[in-house]
Amino acid sequence: MANYTTRLHQQIINRKTPALVGIDPRWDWLPREIQSAAETAGGCLHSRIARGYERFSCELLDIVAPHVAAVKPQVAFFEQHGIPGLQALHAVMTYARKLGLIVIADAKRGDIGTTAEAYAEGWLAGEDPDAAAWPADALTINPYLGTDSLEPFVNIAAKRGAGLYVLVRTSNKGAAEFQDRVSEGRPMYETVAQAVGRLSDGTRIDGDLYGCVGAVVGATWPQQLRQLREVMPSVPLLVPGYGTQGGTSADAAAAFHENGLGAVVNSSRGINFAWRREPYASTFGEGRWREAVAESVHEMIRDLAANTPAGMLKHGLDMNPENAGGARTGI
């Protein structure tokens, strides 16, 4: 069973970019052609919306799949619409896997004991999409309940070649309120990061440089990002907050190791609804929304390559851990 992070990195090296595309459909913002088609097919409100979400998300996947390694469907938007919404989510995840994309389910789950185990069993399909009801390669999880609440996820992830991203320092404005509370000279997020580092180290086998337990750290907090990259050297990072939320590629740069690996940077609205903002609104407009999406992905890939160590990926990377030591010097 291949380590999740090794699989992810192989894919990142193939695509030469750590760009991660969020799948965040919102009914009011969908292109009118998608709305109309969904409306015309009829059914209850949730069914019509779900149909629009599925069609839109699958078209997004077609556009981005040749260019990026991974996508991150936001479970909430689908779950909001009940069974039809979740049927759409399942179809979207299945289609993404079929296209060869790594699928990170952004569900922020968390519970204790056998309940945590149930979430892990259900979401962490890992290498084999059929190993769980939801065919995710990786899942975001919440640490508030303690390390013992994360362990059931870690055990199942390690067994199935699946990954986890534990919320450490989130991208929202109010993240500091609880996450920065200092105890014995150390902010909460650092204490959580140390626990995540330990869990991740425990999943490294056969010379893996990274474990399968990752962390979510917002690009909106470059200083904490730099610090956390040092606290958790063997932990793959998921960096939200790039683009619409205000984080830049320069802010996200600290998430990477020197060789351009170790992190994925996510953009959701900025890509999903690219044609609704400038310059794409003028250049393409709603009628050519697919081109706007494609162009916004290319722009993000260029931006990350120019302003972060991810630029190294363009030169081709040696994935043999025996030879990768040099790339990690000075981490």
259 near a second copy, rule: CB under 8 A: no
Task: Kindly tell me which residue out of 6, 35, 57, 179 binds a second copy, with binding defined by CB under 8 A.
Answer: 179
φ and ψ of 212, to 5 deg: -95, 5
328 near a second copy, rule: CB under 8 A: no
φ and ψ of 99, to 5 deg: -80, 0
182 near a second copy, rule: CB under 8 A: yes
Which residues between 188 and 217 bind a second copy (CB under 8 A)? Answer: 188, 191-192, 195
85 near a second copy, rule: CB under 8 A: yes
77 near a second copy, rule: CB under 8 A: yes
Give the span between the Cα atoms of 129 and 293, in whole angstroms: 27
111 near a second copy, rule: CB under 8 A: yes
Task: Kindly tell me which residue out of 12, 19, 167, 253 binds a second copy, with binding defined by CB under 8 A.
Answer: 167
Handedness of CA 36, 73, 251, 296 (dihedral sign): negative
Give the span between the Cα atoms of 91 and 86, in whole angstroms: 8
How far, in Å, are 235, 247, 252, 323 from residue 238 at the CA level? Answer: 10, 13, 10, 25
- Do 50 and 81 touch, CB atoms closer than 8 A? yes
35 near a second copy, rule: CB under 8 A: no
Q: Under the phi-then-psi rule, with left for phi > 0, alpha for psi from -120 to 50, and beta for the rest, what region is 285?
A: left
Task: Give the nearest distance from C-beta 133 to a second copy in angstroms.
Answer: 3
Which residues between 137 and 156 bind a second copy (CB under 8 A)? Answer: 142-149
Q: Which is nearer to a second copy, 105 or 255 (CB)?
A: 105
Handedness of CA 185, 187, 188, 190 (dihedral sign): negative
Give the span between the Cα atoms of 152 and 150, in whole angstroms: 6
Q: Which is nearer to a second copy, 18 or 218 (CB)?
A: 218
174 near a second copy, rule: CB under 8 A: yes
Task: Give the nearest distance from C-beta 156 to a second copy in angstroms.
Answer: 11
Stretch of 53-61, 165-173, 304-312, 316-324 contacting a second copy, by CB under 8 A: 165-173
Structure tokens at 258: 């020197």
Give the span between the Cα atoms of 242 and 171, in whole angstroms: 9
Q: Which is nearer to a second copy, 16 or 72 (CB)?
A: 72
Residue type, 222: P
Task: Kindly tell me which residue out of 1, 11, 37, 86 binds a second copy, with binding defined by CB under 8 A.
Answer: 86
**Pick the catalytic residue: 72, 108, 173, 314?**
108
76 near a second copy, rule: CB under 8 A: yes
- Do 210 and 235 touch, CB atoms closer than 8 A? yes
Catalytic annotation present for 108: yes
Give the span between the Cα atoms of 232 and 223, in whole angstroms: 15
Q: Is 142 exposed, middle or buried (0-12, 13-18, 19+ CB in 10 A)?
A: middle
For the chain, the farthest-separated pair of C-alpha atoms sits apart, in whole angstroms, at: 60
Q: Which is nearer to a second copy, 11 or 80 (CB)?
A: 80
Q: Which is nearer to a second copy, 10 or 142 (CB)?
A: 142
Task: Give the nearest distance from C-beta 167 to a second copy in angstroms.
Answer: 6
Give the residues lining the site for a second copy (CB under 8 A). 24, 26, 46, 74, 76-77, 79-83, 85-87, 90, 108-116, 118-119, 121-122, 133-134, 142-149, 167, 170-179, 181-183, 188, 191-192, 195
By annotation, the residues acting in catalysis are 108
